[in-house]
Every structure is written in structure tokens, then in C-alpha cells.
């Protein structure tokens, strides 16, 4: 069966953004420190990756069939202008459908149930949309809800050699912790990043 | 010149102990999941490591000439009975010299200055005691003070595939953050642990 995965660029002290939404220049440095040009569905969003990171990225793209994201990420990115850079359908978990949505031709779906029921519906819908490909859930809050609902199969960490000293942790408020993982089942050493993948092992 | 290093077994979410001092069974699993017996200066403290982790451990022992620890660690371990398992002299950073110390024949030294001056004195003394070997500083609070005083050269992380969901972070209260590191300059994949080493790069 297709897997439910999460992933993020994370500092050595566990943050996916620094204090006051800083640190992205450091966390995302590996998207721009190689000479392989990788395009997304957004012409203005092009990465320059090392060979190792490009392989990592292409695998991610090839295996991902749909996304589940939280309302915060949707708002920050303004719904990616109606077209996610990964070119896959997106399920948004939200208390209410944002104004002007859904839009024709934009593969965005909205799940407005709260709690465990909401996250289960969102993942089920994303699975349907993904076919035999994986569902990727982002960011931390959604990943945490999936973990606590025992829906998450894999955790990817792009571990970046920086100490941010504060900010938003990748994992927080884990009600069912501790969670033991298996692996890394894959490890790839890029430049200014170590790509790690772990499998979740529910007790 | 000899280096000043810190290191710890750390969960994927950045903790060196779980909520209420739990999680050690998971964080230290790699000390007991191999078939290579490694003895310490304490007969009752013997590890059973995999080949990879044994190599990692032996290198650490061979390169370490002295330790700097905080009073908390000293108290928890009751001064390791007067003899640290690594068999090297120990400098304890403390507000006051504990009752019954120093003891004859026990290579423990106490530095009672506070703040940056105290940590600088402790590291200088440890350097002297270590000769041409490295100084290892533990745990997090001491490492953080060394980092903020620009004394720390290397960070070792034994990254353990568990999410503890809370507890004591390895790195906390970093006044000079963000800190960029270089590496990993070494990476070794053990069983239930990834041994990583980074070099600190001060701006």
C-alpha cells in the first residue's frame, strides 16, 4: 500500500524555522548549493541542487501522489497560487473553507472536520487522489496529528548543520510519545544537508 | 591544537532525556545492541556495541584527555565514585565545591567562578590536563556556555531514531544563535544510532 510520509528541512536542534520565522536562508541552503537545475511547476521556483540532493528530490517527486497540509501553510503560501510546486493535488485541513475556494481547475480540497476524524478524512481523501503513490503530510502540526492517529508511515528529515536556538520545532505536542522509529532506512549525504528517512514503528 | 568537543545521544526531536528523566532505555539502546564487549574503568559498567559503534567509542576514548562537566551531572552520578568511566581527569563547574571534595587520588577539579570567566577557566584547566588530547564538555548547559564563549570546536551527535516529545534539549538558551556548523565531517551508521560529527564555524 502507498505510504503516508512527512518530511522537512530541520536544524540540529530540531527546528523547521528559527525565532520569528528566521533561519530559512540556512535551512534551505541545500536547495541552492549545487549545479543541477531542477524545475517545479512554478517557472519562478527553480532549485539548484547537488547530484545527491537532486536524486533525493526527484525520488520524492516521483513517489508523491498527493499532499495534506494545514491551513497555516496554505495561508502563508496563499494556496501556492492554485498550483502546488510539486504538481499534485492538495488536501487542506482547516476549520473553514477559505474565501474564494474551491477554484475551478485548482486541485485543492478542503476538509473541515476537526480532531482525529478530520485528519483521518483528509488522509483517506489524499490516498484516493494519490492512487498508488504516497501521501505527504506537512508541516509539523499535521504530521504530529497523523503520528498520534497512527497514520504516519515514514519520516524524512533533511538534517541541516545549524543550531537555530529556538523557533518552531518539527515535532511538538506529541501525545503518544515516545515513538520509536526504524532506521535510517535511507541516508544520503548532500552538501550542507544529510537526507535521512525513518520508518515509524507503532507499539 | 587539541579540540574542545561535546557529544550526546539525542532523539530525532532534539532531546537528551525525555519528560521526567525518561527515555534513557531508548537513547542508550545502542550501548547494548552489539556483541563487542567494551569495558570502562568501572568493572560494573560494560557496554555491548556493534562493530561500528565500538569503533566510534574507541576513537572517542583514545582522543579524549579531560572532561568538563556541570554540577548537575556530577551530582546525578555522585561524582562517578571518584573515578570517571573514561579514566580521565574531570573539571567540574560549580558554584561551590561539594562537601567531601576534592579527594586524594581522585582526579576531580572544581572551578567556582560563574559566567564566561568560569567556563573559560574550566576549559583552560581541562586543556592543561588533557595535554595533546581533546577536551570533552558535557552536558548541554556546559556545551551551550562553551558555544556562546566561542570555545567549542566540535559537536558529536549520536542520533537515535526515537521521538521523545519533550524533556531536556541537547541545545538550549543559545545566546549567540544561529550557529552554522560544517559537516557532518564524520558519519557512521550503527544499529539504532547514527554517529555524526560537526565542526563549529564561528562567524
pLDDT in tens, A101-130: 999 999 999 999 989 999 999 999 999 999
| Cβ B135 vs Cβ B66: under 8 Å | yes
Backbone angles phi, psi at A115, to 5 degrees: 60, -155
Enumerate the residues of chain B whose CB falls inside 8 A of the CB of residue A174.
13, 163, 165-166
| Cβ neighbours around B89 below 10 Å, total | 18
Distances (CA, A) of A60 to A191, B3, B187: 18, 39, 23
Domains defined for chain B, CATH in brackets:
18-191 (3.40.430.10)
Per-residue pLDDT tens for B124-173?
A: 999 999 999 999 999 889 999 999 999 999 999 999 999 999 999 999 88
Q: Is the pLDDT of residue A1 over 80?
A: no
Per-residue pLDDT tens for B69-86?
A: 999 999 989 999 999 999
Cβ–Cβ contact B178 with A under 8 A: yes
Rounded-to-integer distance, Cα B137 and Cα B152, Å: 9
Enumerate the residues of chain B whose CB falls inside 8 A of the CB of residue A194.
184, 187, 196
Per-residue pLDDT tens for A34-51?
A: 999 999 999 889 999 999
Per-residue pLDDT tens for B137-150?
A: 998 899 999 999 99
A177 to chain B, minimum CA–CA distance in Å?
5
| Cβ B61 vs Cβ B49: under 8 Å | no
Q: Is the pLDDT of residue B1 over 80?
A: no
Place of cell 584527555: B65
Per-residue pLDDT tens for A129-154?
A: 999 999 999 988 999 999 999 999 99
- Helix B140-148 vs helix B115-130: crossing angle, to nearest 10: 100
β B179-189/B4-11 pair status: unpaired
C-alpha cell at B131: 595535554
* Chain A / chain B CB contacts < 8 angstroms: 110
Rounded-to-integer distance, Cα B119 and Cα B30, Å: 31
pLDDT value at position A203?
Answer: 85
ipTM entry: 0.94
Share of chain A above pLDDT 90, in %: 94
pLDDT value at position B140?
Answer: 87
C-alpha cell at A167: 523557533
- Mean predicted lDDT score pLDDT of chain A: 96
| Cβ B141 vs Cβ B112: under 8 Å | no
Cβ–Cβ contact A194 with B under 8 A: yes
Place of cell 562537566: B69
| Cβ A66 vs Cβ A135: under 8 Å | yes
Q: Is the pLDDT of residue A156 over 80?
A: yes
Report helix, strand or coil for A30.
Answer: helix
Amino acid at each position: 500500500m502507498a505510504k503516508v510520509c512527512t518530511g522537512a528541512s530541520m536544524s540540529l536542534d530540531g527546528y523547521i524555522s528559527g525565532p520569528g520565522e528566521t533561519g530559512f536562508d540556512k535551512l534551505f541552503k541545500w536547495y541552492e548549493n549545487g549545479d543541477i537545475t531542477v524545475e517545479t511547476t512554478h517557472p519562478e521556483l527553480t532549485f539548484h541542487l547537488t547530484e545527491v540532493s537532486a536524486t533525493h528530490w526527484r525520488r520524492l517527486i516521483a513517489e508523491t501522489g498527493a499532499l495534506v497540509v494545514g491551513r497555516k501553510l496554505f495561508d502563508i503560501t496563499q494556496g501556492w497560487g492554485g498550483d502546488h510546486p510539486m504538481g499534485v493535488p492538495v488536501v487542506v485541513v482547516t476549520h473553514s473553507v477559505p474565501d474564494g475556494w474551491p477554484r475551478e481547475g485548482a486541485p485543492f480540497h478542503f476538509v473541515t472536520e476537526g480532531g482525529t476524524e478530520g485528519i483521518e478524512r483528509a488522509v483517506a481523501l489524499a490516498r484516493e487522489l494519490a492512487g498508488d503513490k504516497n501521501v505527504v503530510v506537512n508541516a509539523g502540526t499535521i504530521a504530529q496529528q497523523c503520528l498520534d492517529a497512527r497514520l504516519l508511515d515514514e519520516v524524512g528529515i533533511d538534517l541541516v548543520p545549524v543550531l537555530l536556538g529556538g523557533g518552531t520545532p518539527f515535532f511538538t505536542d506529541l501525545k503518544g510519545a515516545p515513538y520509536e522509529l526504524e532506521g535510517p532506512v535511507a541516508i544520503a549525504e548532500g552538501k550542507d544537508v544529510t537526507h535521512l528517512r525513518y520508518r515509524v514503528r507503532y507499539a
